[in-house]
Amino acid sequence: MKEKISKLKILITFIFMVCFIVIVTNGTKLLQKNTDVYVVANGSLYYEEMTEGYLVRDEVVLEGNNYKNGMVQVIPDGERTAKSEVVFRYYSNNEEGILKQISELDEEINEILENSGLEILPSDNILSLEKQMEDTINSMYNLNYLQKIQENKNRIEAYISKKAEITGTLSPSNSYLKQLIEKRNSLEQELEQGSEIMTAPNAGIVSYRVDGLEQVLKCDNFDYLNTELLNSFDLKVGAVIPLSNEKGKIVNNFECYIATSINTEKAMTAKVGDNVTLRLSNSDEVDAEIVYIKEEENGRVLVFRIEEKVVDLLEYRKISFDIIWWKYSGWKISNSCIIEEDDKTYVEKRTAGYTERILVKVLRQNDTYSIVNNYDEDELRNLGYTEDEISNMEKIKLYDEIISY
C-alpha cells in the first residue's frame, strides 16, 4: 500500500511539473511582442471614394419635321462631322415606291441602250463617264465599309443615268428613250423635294443615342443642378442609351462633365479648381478638375470636367466611378512599422541581428500603409539636432528590413 501511494505521489508531482512548465512557457510568449519583418519597397497610396454621377455634355439635338418617316444615316454613330455637313436625312413620303419606279426605269433604259440599233458614235462625254464607271467599280473590290459601298453604288447609278441622258439627247427628239429619261428625272426631283436633310450646326461627334435629357442637363450654367433633380431621373447605373431612328445629335468631343451628389469628408472640403483623378468603371483613369460646387443641407453637388475618354462615354448618361482625391508614390511601409514618440515618427531597422531606431517623416498615410522618407539636413536642424547628430544619423533605404509589430 505504501509503495502504491509513493508511486501516485511521484505521478502527481510529474504532472504538476509538466503543467507548470507549459504555463510558464506560454505566459512568457504572451508577454513578448509579436514581431515580423517588413521590407521597404516602392509603392503608391490612394485616397479614393466611390460614387455615382450623371454625364453633362455640350450637345445639340437634330430633329426635322419628317421624323416619323424614319431616317438614313449619312455619317455613322460615333464619327466626326464638320460644320454644315449632311449628318442624316429623313425618308420622303412614298420613298420606297418612288425608288422602285426609278429602278424599273433604269432597267428599261439600259435594255434599250443595249438593244437599240442606233449607230451613235461615242462622244468624249460618254467615254469619260464610262471611264469613271470602270474606276468606281474597280474601287469597290475588297471594300467592306457599307456606307462607302452604298456611296459608290449611287455614283454608278448616276453615271448610268447621265450616259442615258446623253444618248437620249443624241437620239431623235420624240424617242421613247428620251421620254423614259424625262420621267426618271421627274421622279428624282420628287424624291429630292420630299426628302428632309439634316446638317451639322457645328463640328463634333455624331451620335444617335438621344435620351431626352440633352435639353435638361446643360453645361453653359450649372446653377440648376441639385440632388433632387439628379435623383428624379431614375436611371440605372451603366445603362446604355438606345439608338434613335428619329433624331441625332452633335456632341462636343473635346470635353464633358460629370455631376455627382456627395457628402463625404473629402468632398465637403474640396474647392473649385482642385485637380483629382477619376477611375471609370472600365478601370481607365482620367484627370479631372472641379469646376462647380453647390452647397446643400446634407451634402454637396460637385461637377468635374474631363477631357479624356469623352467619346467612350457617349453611350451612357449615369455611371459609377471612383474619385481619387490624392495619389502619392514613394517608399511604402506598413503602418504596423510606425513608432510614434514625442511627436516624432520612427521605424526600427534590423541589421545583422540587432535593431536600430531611425527617424523618418511620413509623407502620406491611409488606414493600412504609409509613404515615408528621410529628413534632409535643413529639416533636421529645424528639429533641433546638432551637426554631429546629423552626420551620424542612420537613414532608411530601399529594401531595408524594418520591424513590424
Domain boundaries, the chain: 1-31, 36-44+331-404, 49-61+212-242+252-328, 92-194
272 pLDDT band, cuts 50/70/90, is: very high
Cell 497610396 maps to which residue?
A: 45
Q: Which of 38-42, 70-74, 358-362 has the lowest mean pLDDT?
A: 70-74
Contact by Cβ (8 Å): 306, 294: no
Amino acid at 204: G
Amino acid at 70: G
Q: Using the predicted structure, report yes or no on whether residue 140 has a pLDDT greater than 50.
A: no
Domain 36-44+331-404 identical in fold to domain 49-61+212-242+252-328: no
pLDDT at 144: 45
Which of 81, 86, 65 is closest to 247 using CA atoms? 65
| Cell of residue 284, nine digits | 481607365
Q: Using the predicted structure, report yes or no on whether residue 136 has a pLDDT greater than 50.
A: yes
pLDDT at 145: 43
119 versus 298: which is more confidently predicted?
298
pTM over 0.75, yes/no: no
Contact by Cβ (8 Å): 335, 370: yes
Rounded mean pLDDT of 364-387?
A: 92
pLDDT at 29: 40
pLDDT at 176: 77
Query: Which CATH number applies to 49-61+212-242+252-328: 2.40.30.170, 1.10.3720.10, 3.10.310.40, 3.90.1820.10?
Result: 2.40.30.170
Which of 326, 327, 328, 323 is closest to 263 using CA atoms? 323
Question: What H or E segment, with its residue span, contains residue 303?
Answer: strand 299-306
Which of 211, 82, 207, 73 is closest to 150 using CA atoms? 73
Out of 126-135, 147-156, 246-255, the most confident range is 246-255
DSSP track, 66-115: TGGG-EEESS-TT-EE-TT-EEEEEPPTTHHHHHHHHHHHHHHHHHHHHH
Amino acid at 292: Y
Burial 119-132 (b: 16+ CB within 10 A, else e): eeeeeeebeebeeb
102 versus 293: which is more confidently predicted?
293
182 pLDDT band, cuts 50/70/90, is: confident
Question: What H or E segment, with its residue span, contains residue 328?
Answer: strand 318-334
Task: Determine the angle formed by the axes of helices 176-194 and 146-170, rounding to 10 degrees.
Answer: 140
Q: What is the distance, to the nearest Å, from the Cα of residue 113 to the centroid of all Cα atoms in its chain?
A: 56
pLDDT at 18: 54
Which of 258, 314, 321 is closest to 285 using CA atoms? 321
158 pLDDT band, cuts 50/70/90, is: low
Strand partners, 53: 319
Q: Using the predicted structure, report yes or no on whether residue 9 has a pLDDT greater than 70.
A: no
CA–CA–CA angle 90, 93, 98 (5° rounding): 105
- Fold topology of 36-44+331-404: 2.40.420
Amino acid at 312: D
Share of residues in the chain with pLDDT > 70 (%): 74
Q: Using the predicted structure, report yes or no on whether residue 255 has a pLDDT greater than 80.
A: yes
| Cell of residue 212, nine digits | 431626352
CA distance 263 to 293: 12
Rounded mean pLDDT of 132-144?
A: 53
**Radius of gyration from C-alpha coordinates of the chain:** 40
Q: What is the distance, to the nearest Å, from the Cα of residue 325 to the centroid of all Cα atoms in its chain?
A: 19
Contact by Cβ (8 Å): 8, 16: no
Q: Using the predicted structure, report yes or no on whether residue 127 has a pLDDT greater than 70.
A: no
Share of residues in the chain with pLDDT > 90 (%): 52
31 pLDDT band, cuts 50/70/90, is: very low
pLDDT at 28: 41
